[in-house]
Amino acid sequence: MKEKIIKLIKNANKIVIASHINPDADTIGSMLGLGDGIKKIAKKVTYYNPSKELPRRFDFFCGFTKIKDKLPDNFDLLICVDCASLDRTTIKNGDFKIINFDHHKTNNNFGDINIVKENYASCSMVIFEFLNDSQLDISPSCATSLYAALVEDSGFFKYERVDKTTFYIAQKLIEYGAKPDKIASLLTQREPLAKYRLLQRYLNNIELKANATVCISRLDLEDYESTGASVSDSDSFVQMGLSLATVKLSIFIYQLDENRAKISLRSKNDIDCSVIALSYGGGGHKRAAGFTANLKDIDDIIVNILKKVNI
């Protein structure tokens, strides 16, 4: 399989590496780390992300400024990273081969070649393994992007899929030049005040339901506008709801535009967020998942989720 991928990369005239909409550190770090790793064997690589705005926190990843929100007119190979389905990239099928590197259990194997490791805590671990096993160069900047992706997607080694392989790959990335203290500081200690103004509102809006086992909070467009914060500033808030002692499911609803909101889910114990998200057309992992819905349907959806989880 790896040889086949190397051959496809070497033979392609134009390669697009694509990351998912509403990007997180894992999709951006996997994309840029992979691009850096294959630069000696690839003719031309374009980094693609469909979002208009990228989180500034990732600006230390190698190649961050080269990410485009437009596709080249033509390309013969598409490599998707951290995408459970092709529509996460917003790219439609076309006259090109697709390689799919991922770690989502909900991945629908949309590629011509699929390397999906659902036991891995991050997609960047899948990318590391591919580069390492193929004897491709892993530069310090490549290791930095892959390590940053790994620590952020694993909640700094806190989440369920963290195991000895996670630490083994983290160790290898440190050997290749990733600096854990610097990366942690760059990821977590450059927050804008607007984010904390928005967090005040998130905390104020918290409601506990179902015997305080479900935490629900909601932010509207007005909250983002009046604090000056962006949607990506609230990415981590849902996790705070889950930090409460009695809470087993944290639900965070945030408005995307006039008609739609995103519902983000995090869980402890046996609640499978990906099953809930899938039933509303979204996806994700057991402990972390999400979906988009019409504003007018939100209240009914919440009632239904509360019925379903049964805690």
**Residues binding Mn ion (CB under 5 A):** 26, 82, 123, 153
Min dist. Cβ of residue 123 to Mn ion (A): 5
Q: Sort residue 99 into left (φ over 0), alpha (ψ -120 to 50) or beta.
A: beta
Min dist. Cβ of residue 179 to Mn ion (A): 22
Min dist. Cβ of residue 20 to Mn ion (A): 9
Q: How far is 160 from 252, CA to CA, in rounded Å?
A: 20
Min dist. Cβ of residue 30 to Mn ion (A): 8
Secondary-structure percent of the chain, ordered helix, strand, coil, rounded to 5: 40, 20, 40
DSSP string, 170-197: HHHHHHTT--HHHHHHHHHS---HHHHH
Neighbours of 98 (CB within 10 A): 21
Q: Which is it for the CA torsion 266, 148, 23, 107, positive or negative? A: negative
Quick one: 26 or 223, whose CB is closer to Mn ion?
A: 26
Min dist. Cβ of residue 27 to Mn ion (A): 6
Min dist. Cβ of residue 81 to Mn ion (A): 9
Quick one: 36 or 82, whose CB is closer to Mn ion?
A: 82
CA angle 158, 162, 164 (to 5 degrees): 130
- With CB atoms as reference, the residue minimizing the distance to Mn ion is 26
Quick one: 19 or 217, whose CB is closer to Mn ion?
A: 19
Q: How far is 48 from 25, CA to CA, in rounded Å?
A: 14
Q: Among residues 234, 232, 252, which one has the least CA distance to residue 58?
A: 232
Helix (H, G, I), strand (E, B) or coil at 6: helix
Quick one: 153 or 223, whose CB is closer to Mn ion?
A: 153
Q: How far is 308 from 311, CA to CA, in rounded Å?
A: 9
Quick one: 178 or 215, whose CB is closer to Mn ion?
A: 178
**Alpha carbon of 66 to those of 28, 30, 36, 98, 196: distances in Å?**
12, 14, 12, 21, 29
Quick one: 183 or 216, whose CB is closer to Mn ion?
A: 183
Min dist. Cβ of residue 285 to Mn ion (A): 8
Quick one: 278 or 306, whose CB is closer to Mn ion?
A: 278
